[in-house]
Amino acid sequence: KRKEIVEELESIKKALSDGYESGGEITSYPSHVADIGTDSSEMETLSLIITTVSQMLNDIDEALGKITEGTYGICEICGKEINPERLEFIPHTKLCIKCKEKEDISVRGIR
């Protein structure tokens, strides 16, 4: 499992690096007023992507630590084993599906 997580980590790092190389920098000022809004929107999108990927990298790093500790695959909320199929799909997940669904409902403010 560690190998799969390390591969996922490397894949994400490469994708992030490729994103920077292919347009992550703004090298010129917009030439038209309408371009200012577009550039701003693109920067917001890029910022959101970077934040999401950074969180994912942190989660993967934590998963690697859990493998070392022997706690990988245990839900952080209920302490039960996470379904192996879920771990196969999302190797860096911290929560079982039931706890994740409860968390999502709570975040959306639905009770």
pLDDT of residue 52: 84
Question: Looking at the structure, do residues 55 and 19 belong to the same domain, yes or no?
Answer: yes
Quickly count helices (H) and strands (E) in the chain.
Answer: 4, 0
Question: Looking at the structure, do residues 68 and 78 belong to the same domain, yes or no?
Answer: no
Instruction: State which residues form the domain around 79.
Output: 74-111
At 21-31, the pLDDT tens digits run 555 444 444 55
At 68-90, the pLDDT tens digits run 999 999 999 999 999 999 999 99
User: Total domain count for the chain?
Assistant: 2
In a domain, 28, yes or no: no
φ, ψ of residue 83 to 5 degrees: the values are -55, 130
Question: Looking at the structure, do residues 41 and 1 belong to the same domain, yes or no?
Answer: yes
Question: Looking at the structure, do residues 66 and 44 belong to the same domain, yes or no?
Answer: yes
